[in-house]
Amino acid sequence: MAGRRLYSTNSLLAYRISKRYYNDKHYVWASPSFGSRSTQEPLIGNPVSSRPASRYKQLREEVRDTDRHGHLIQEQRLGLRTGAQMKHDQGVISKEQRDEIMAVVDAAEIADFKPLLYVFSLDDVKGVVKKVPVNERAHPLSEEYIIEELPGSMFDILDLDLDND
């Protein structure tokens, strides 16, 4: 991978659903800033809710605590259900597949939401990346991107939960 990096935190369940049902095409919300504010431009940065490191840590804590009411786990469940409906409406998956995904999401255990970090090059995704509209960003000046169908071959997956190995 060459060029500027983008980072995105996603759940293991989201990865598995995209791999199995969506032809290994993944929906990602990404940022060039992994964690803290940029060292190159310290007065410009993404708020905590759009920093992949912060989202990773929060989701990891919700999973470790088996928090059935965890905000990010609830957000993940809703996003996966919404995504399944959209993929059905677009003709990507059948009604049966949509219903199966909904059942999988409903039955998923907390551990299925284990966080994964996707890392990829902005140069590699030039044709499919979109800037997040200002009104949908965590802050109007934050740098955020959406890729609706990122091929699994275009990103690396990092599991930062090393103390469970």
Task: Give the CA count within 13 Å in the CB-facing half-sphere of 68.
Answer: 3
Alpha carbon distance 122, 11 (integer Å): 21
Please state, in angstroms and rounded to a whole number, the distance separating the CA atoms of residues 144 and 4.
Answer: 14
Structure tokens at 122: 């902005």
pTM recorded for the entire structure: 0.89
Range of the domain at 156: 5-164
At 98-144, the pLDDT tens digits run 999 999 999 999 999 999 999 999 999 998 999 999 999 988 888 89
Confidence of residue 43 (pLDDT cuts 50, 70, 90): low
Number of domains in the chain: 1
